Chain A
Amino acid sequence: GAVVSQHPSRVICKSGTSVKIECRSLDFQATTMFWYRQFPKQSLMLMATSNEGSKATYEQGVEKDKFLINHASLTLSTLTVTSAHPEDSSFYICSASGRVNEQYFGPGTRLTVT
């Protein structure tokens, strides 16, 4: 099956710094990538949808200037959490979709902001 990787798997950063999370589709071309956020014991909430080569579409309530998404190639999307604060601590999960409408999830990135 299709494989999606995320890097890093865990990151701890200080408040006010920025963190970049990478999402890669390893064996297929992902025309669309999605970024989700999952708080402890809660469901996944869609943050944004990104199509290769175009600007991401953010869900209501998600600050696009804080969560910068870049989808520069068909195998890589990045999420940068800018000026991170403790309330941004969460589990960030990406998924990738190719020509068929099926999504493959990455293993997630645990962000802790101190």
Chain B
Amino acid sequence: AQSVSQHNHHVILSEAASLELGCNYSYGGTVNLFWYVQYPGQHLQLLLKYFSGDPLVKGIKGFEAEFIKSKFSFNLRKPSVQWSDTAEYFCAVTLNQAGTALIFGKGTTLSVSS
């Protein structure tokens, strides 16, 4: 069965620390990969996405992610986090096929202290 695993349930960092959130997927076929962020009390926002091409994807707010096909991974990174990055982060996968739903990981809570 298709699944998405996010290794870190809760990450606590100080401002300016580097961030890496793990995401692995189990999904047959060609996939599209996404990272979403949900700030407290707000709705989902797309951080970045990978459909094809350069496996290193740059998103908004200084985030990037690298698709490593051989490892079935799509880890999210940011060199220097800010207090405002405190949020819930979700990795999601879908087949590269119109009309297919996103499968979400369980999410990682990031807490950044100033």
A residues neighboring B (CB under 8 Å) = 31-32, 34, 41-46, 49, 51, 93, 95, 97, 99-103, 105-108
Contact = CB atoms under 8 A, between A and B. Distances in A.
Interface of B: 32, 36, 42-44, 49, 51, 90, 94-107, 109
Contacts of B104: 43-45
Do most interface residues of chain B lie in helix, strand or loop, or is the interface mixed? Answer: loop
Given A34-B101, A43-B106, A46-B101, 7 more contacts: A31-B98, A93-B44, A95-B102, A97-B98, A97-B99, A101-B96, A105-B44
A32 B101 CA distance: 9
A59 to B, nearest CB: 8
A31 B99 contact: yes
B100 to A, nearest CB: 7
